[in-house]
Amino acid sequence: MNTRRTMMARRAMSAVVITTGLVLTVAGCGGGGEDDKSGENSSAKPSSTKRGDGERNTSEAPDTEKALAEVKSNGITLTVTSATRDEGGFLTVNGKVTNGTSGIWVGSEWRSDENELKKNGGSLAGASVVDQQGKKKYLVLRDTGGRCLCTKFEGGINEGQTVDWFAQFPAPPEGTAEVQFQVPTMPPAPIELSDGE
């Protein structure tokens, strides 16, 4: 009987010690005093700064200000961020496309009607650059296999997703400073050309 009471007392003491330890641990981690609030704010500031830096790298509000052009149609936003004339006589146009529709967008309406480029599927193969001053239209370049020198949207773009794109064209003459970038189903976007280094 004494052994039984001793065992029960030990168990009760162990339970009290464990419970007290857990309460102290939780109180130390959770807190609620002024020191904890200042610590919480100081830890929140760096993480929000990090989050802000991360957001600048992906969506980057200043990037919108740097955009050469932005056009919208059917829930799709096309942004042109650069149009650079390369030394080799090429014009490389870069930008972003954002899917604002309620499903996956595959870019099939942007494909080219040319037989050679039709096999590129959902891509910027149908894009063109129009030099209104020189009255010339430049189509997307292609390799010897008939693949466009442009972004192909394989697998499509999910709802709300933004992806980078590029397309290469023959460069208009050096006197041409502005062209119209055109993609099927989108309004033309006037863009200024810059020279590569």
Token pair 């480029």 in the structure block, residue: 117
d(CA 162, CA 7) in angstroms, rounded, equals: 66
CATH, domain 67-195, list 2.30.29, 2.60.40, 2.60.120, 1.10.3470: 2.60.40
Cβ(81)–Cβ(64) below 8 Å: no
Which of 197 and 4 is assigned the larger pLDDT? Answer: 197
Average per-residue pLDDT in the chain? 75
CA-to-CA separations, 158 to 71, 78, 103, 187, in angstroms, rounded: 19, 15, 6, 22
Mean pLDDT across 142-162: 89
Q: Does 168 have pLDDT greater than 90?
A: yes
Identify the burial level of 162 via C-beta atoms within 10 angstroms of its C-beta, where 0-12 means exposed, 13-18 middle and 19 or more buried: middle
Domain assignments of the chain as residue spans, ordered by start: 2-60, 67-195
At residue 87 the predicted structure's pLDDT band, cuts being 50, 70 and 90, is: confident
Mean pLDDT across 90-95: 95
Per DSSP bridges, beta strands 194-195 and 76-85 are parallel
Q: Does 130 have pLDDT greater than 60?
A: yes
Angle at CA of residue 46, ends 41 and 51, nearest 5°: 115
In terms of C-beta distances under 8 Å and separation of at least 24 residues, what long-range contacts does 61-70 make, across chains too? 67/95, 68/189, 68/191, 68/192, 69/181, 69/189, 69/190, 69/191, 70/189
Q: What is the pLDDT of residue 61?
A: 40
Cβ(71)–Cβ(78) below 8 Å: yes
Residue 176 CB contacts under 8 Å (≥ 6 apart), including other chains: 131, 133, 134, 193
Which of 71 and 12 is assigned the larger pLDDT? Answer: 71
Structure tokens at 145: 């296999």
Q: What is the pLDDT of residue 9?
A: 56
d(CA 189, CA 194) in angstroms, rounded, equals: 16
Q: What is the pLDDT of residue 6?
A: 55
Q: What is the pLDDT of residue 197?
A: 62
Mean pLDDT across 14-25: 50
Per-residue pLDDT tens over the stretch 23-66? 444 445 444 444 444 444 433 333 333 333 333 333 444 444 58
